[in-house]
Amino acid sequence: MGGKVQRGVFQTIFKHLINSFKPRRFTGDLVGSDYLGNKYYQHSQHATSEKKLPARYFVPKIEDNFEQEIPAEWEAWLRHRRKEPPAESEVLRNFAIMKMKKNNAIELDNALRASRAQKQEVAEIHRVTKFPKYPEYENVDSEHPKNPKD
């Protein structure tokens, strides 16, 4: 066997069963908070832990409201896409850029609606029927038109 100790399936199951009865630490270390009032936590890495990445989570400002919006920088940190938590200045700078983009989008949308309304008004002004109707040429009687020689 080359000196390696191999664990059996029952030993692994027994180890996990024993570990499930041990008290767990449910509170993590506070890492930071955002402008919405959410607080972000990370569990410290235990030496006996088999996980490679520490558990990260957040507590929303309003309890049990986990569907609320969180900043993209903090979401990246929660999903382990970035190692260090974002600085408050970085989050606020990106928030200002986001607000500016929203305002620009609203202005563009209003300009587009005004342009469409103006084009529609011009089209209604210049609306031309294919066949103009002139009252002097209309037949009022259901009979054939009268011959002017009669």
For residue range 43-77, list pLDDT tens digits in order. Answer: 876 544 566 788 888 888 888 776 788 898 999 99
- 32: Cβ–Cβ under 8 A, 6 or more apart, which residues? 39, 40, 74, 85, 86, 88
* Cβ atoms within 10 Å of 91's Cβ, excluding its own: 20
81 and 108 co-located in one domain: no
Residue with tokens 């990106």: 94
* Cβ atoms within 10 Å of 58's Cβ, excluding its own: 20
79 and 59 co-located in one domain: yes
What is the average pLDDT across 29-55?
79
61 and 35 co-located in one domain: yes
In the predicted structure, residue 107 carries a pLDDT above the cut 60: yes
Q: Could you tell me if 86 and 71 are in contact, meaning their C-beta atoms sit under 8 angstroms apart?
A: yes
* Cβ atoms within 10 Å of 71's Cβ, excluding its own: 19
Q: Please give the residue range of the domain that contains residue 56.
A: 17-85
132 domain residue, yes or no: no
The count of domains in the chain is 2
59 domain residue, yes or no: yes
The helix (H) or strand (E) run that includes residue 104 is: helix 88-125
> What pLDDT does 1 receive?
47
> What pLDDT does 73 receive?
92
In the predicted structure, residue 150 carries a pLDDT above the cut 60: no
What is the average pLDDT across 102-122?
92
What is the average pLDDT across 134-144?
70
In the predicted structure, residue 3 carries a pLDDT above the cut 70: no
> What pLDDT does 2 receive?
52
79 and 98 co-located in one domain: no
Using a cut of 0.85, tell me whether the model's pTM lies above it: no
33 and 79 co-located in one domain: yes
Structure tokens at 26: 């449910």
